[in-house]
Structure 1
Amino acid sequence: MSSQPNQSLIDGIRCLQYLVSSDRAIGCRELARLMGINTTRANRLLMTMASIGLTMQDEQRRYLPGPGIHALAAQSIRGSALFSRALPILERHAPRDIVVALGVLWEDQIIYIWHSVPGSQTTQALAGYRMLPAWQSVIGMALLADESDEQLMQRFTEAQWLNLAPHLEQQRKTGRVVWHHDDGEVSMAIPVGAHQAALAFAGMWNVEESVVEARLGELEQLNEKLLKVPDFAGKSDADQ
């Protein structure tokens, strides 16, 4: 039996993830460009998934997630230790006056599985699921720091690397990232356990350094609460 990965299966899963992460119907050519594959292959993948209800087409023959995606989503949530263990902690302890996000790294993209804004309800935080390039995300900066500069410089443009590099160094030295944006916003992130995930606070504008330090303390406390949940830090029950 071959030990080589099944590329068709890999491409099918990637295709579905890119489609679901889009906020709109997407054409076959655009999806092929995002994935870095040819249009014929993308079309074949989409049509195959349409045959089992995972994709569907609109009037312009662009693709959308199909009805089968709901069953897959429910099964994925049920099977996600990260999601099931983090949700009660975030509902109970996440601050409500700033942005709070929990995201995972996938293909140099950050998938937000929790994203709350001031005044939002739990259902809105869950509906905030979206995808953002890792180099534009404080969560991405915190997670990419696990990789070497040599690996990363091959995947990002020079401008993207200039944005990433100082924050990667900060993560490696301090175990956290604090990003002072040019527009006055401050965001911060810290990795969570062994799930290729990170927790972030954002939406703090033109705040003094004392506020930044206080928020860092809150972020670390919330992260500690997550890590106290069994298996969240990547340990077995026997190691607790």
Structure 2
Amino acid sequence: MKKLPAQPVSGLMDGLEVLRELTISASPVSCKHISEKLGFELTRVNRILKTLDYMGLACRGPSRRYLPGPGIHVLAIQSMIGSGLLKRALPVLEELRKYKLTIALGVLWRDSVSYLYHNDLSRFNAYDAIGRLAVHPAGASSIGIALLSELEDSEIRQIYEGQEIAQPIGSLESLFKEIYKSRENGFSSIMNAKGNLSLAVKLGNPAYAGIALSGIASDEDITKYIKILNESVDKIGAVK
């Protein structure tokens, strides 16, 4: 995280933390669950959730558990339209299906990557590939490593303070090794659990997203696919 401002609005920060927990949960969550997960006082979480419910950003179901409200979907749609990222990237990503690899477009927030597009071994059409996966640990993602490499070391340490690092990285020391490699090479590469390589490059300057190809069987193909990824970045950037 960036340096804390001199007079942060703590209520806003806590509210966004609670909202984030709602959006990443696969099912409705209780006030108690969020309180325990974030380490917030139960009464405070209850007040935040009721406020979010009033604003339409959260919704309480019959089970008294909360889920994202309609306002979240409106904000998501407005932000996607406003940024134009997916509209510009989608035709380029679809071109990559001919390589029969897994294709991904993702963004980083703190220690997680959210995939706007994830096409496992290019088996899905564009409709099914959009929003197919939820959040993924940044340390276990080539896109995550590439985007973390944009941050200062102190900011990365703050993000991961007291956190476990997901496999295959497993430790903060190993994570920094991958980040330093990414800074030096201009791309990131990690080996997944199946023994296949995943490569990612950053999109934008400063970077706001990353694209990746995974399922690459040999290190000998790295140069080839990095060239393809960089060409894809140029194509996305050229779309008006």
**TM-score normalised according to structure 1 size:** 0.81
| Paired positions, count | 226
Which stretches in structure 1 are left out of the alignment for 5+ residues? 231-240
Contact 1:135 1:160 in 2 (8 A): no
**Deviating more after overlay: 150-159 vs 212-221:** 150-159
Indicate yes or no: 2:61 matched with 1:75: no
**Deviating more after overlay: 137-146 vs 5-14:** 5-14
Which stretches in structure 2 are left out of the alignment for 5+ residues? none
- 5 Å-filtered alignment, 1:1-240, equals 4-91=7-94, 93-95=95-97, 97-117=100-120, 118-156=122-160, 157=164, 159-181=170-192, 183-193=194-204, 194-204=206-216, 207-230=217-240
1:103-144 per-residue CA deviation (whole Å, 9 max, x = no partner) reads 111122212112122211112121325212211221111111
Q: Quote how far apart the aligned CAs of 1:170 are.
A: 1.1
Contact 1:105 1:197 in 2 (8 A): yes
Question: Relative to structure 1, is the Cα distance of residues 216 and 19 closer, same or farther in structure 2, using a 3 angstrom cutoff?
Answer: same
RMSD between aligned residues? 2.5
Identity %: 33
In 2: Cα distance, 1:41 partner to 1:189 partner: 40
Question: Relative to structure 1, is the Cα distance of residues 196 and 71 closer, same or farther in structure 2, using a 3 angstrom cutoff?
Answer: closer
Contact 1:110 1:140 in 2 (8 A): yes
Secondary structure of the residue aligned to 2:55 is: coil
In 1: Cα distance, 2:37 partner to 2:208 partner: 23
**Deviating more after overlay: 47-56 vs 66-75:** 66-75
2:63 counterpart letter in structure 1 = Q
Structure 1's consecutive aligned runs of 4 or more residues displaced over 6 angstroms after TM superposition are none
Contact 1:100 1:199 in 2 (8 A): yes
Question: Relative to structure 1, is the Cα distance of residues 127 and 149 closer, same or farther in structure 2, using a 3 angstrom cutoff?
Answer: closer
Question: Relative to structure 1, is the Cα distance of residues 10 and 80 closer, same or farther in structure 2, using a 3 angstrom cutoff?
Answer: farther
Contact 2:110 2:159 in 1 (8 A): no
Contact 1:82 1:195 in 2 (8 A): no
